Structure formats: C-alpha cells, structure tokens
Amino acid sequence: GDSVTQMEGPVTLSEEAFLTINCTYTATGYPSLFWYVQYPGEGLQLLLKATKADDKGSNKGFEATYRKETTSFHLEKGSVQVSDSAVYFCALRVTGGGNKLTFGTGTQLKVEL
C-alpha cells in the first residue's frame, strides 16, 4: 500500500540555521506530494505541493523537490525563524484516489533564539 516515512523529531535548530526534514514515500501509482504544517493550537495548513516528478514546490521560504528516482520529497529552508516552530507533515495522494491523503507521522521543529 501507499506509505510515507518522515524523519523522527523533534528537530531543534537555532534561528537562521538550515533546515532539512526528510520524507520518502512508496505508492502504487503516480502520487502528488504535499507538505502540511501545524502550528500550535491550529489545524493543518497546506505549505507546498508538487504534482509530478522534478516539480519544486515552494512557499514562505520552504522548498521541496519531487524526486521520483529516490522517491523523496525532502523539505528545506535556508534560514529558519522562531515562528517556523511547528509540526510538519509529509503526505501523498495517488491519482484516482479521490482526496484521500496518506500522511507521514509528522516531524516537530523547534527553533530557538
């Protein structure tokens, strides 16, 4: 079946550090890939997405590139801020699967001054 694997957290970084959160997937079809973010006390929000191989999703300084050859969609940001502290979820949706999302376990990011 479809699955998403994320690196375990929490990830603790100093402000302005470089961020990478790894995400790999297995899917029976050709998935679209997503990163969602959940800030404390709020619902999940779509951060970025990519719908086909080699696409790069980007938003708020975050980037992720759809790598079909390595089945990966790693999230990166060049310089994190305290306000980026949140839980990040990688997810996939297979074409023809309706809007059913398969999520990773989430990675908590803590950014300190």
Stretch binding another protein (CB under 8 A), from 23-31, 34-42, 58-66, 68-76: 34-42
| Burial category of 29 from C-beta neighbours within 10 Å (exposed 0-12, middle 13-18, buried 19 and up) | exposed
Choose which of 62, 73, 88, 89 interacts with another protein (CB under 8 A).
89
Could you count the other beta carbons within 10 Å of the beta carbon of residue 105? Answer: 13
Q: Does 57 bind another protein (CB under 8 A)?
A: no
Choose which of 28, 69, 99, 113 interacts with another protein (CB under 8 A).
99
Residue 54, C-beta contacts closer than 8 angstroms, at least 6 positions apart:
65, 66, 67, 68
Residues lying near another protein in the complex (CB under 8 A): 4, 36, 41-46, 89, 98-106
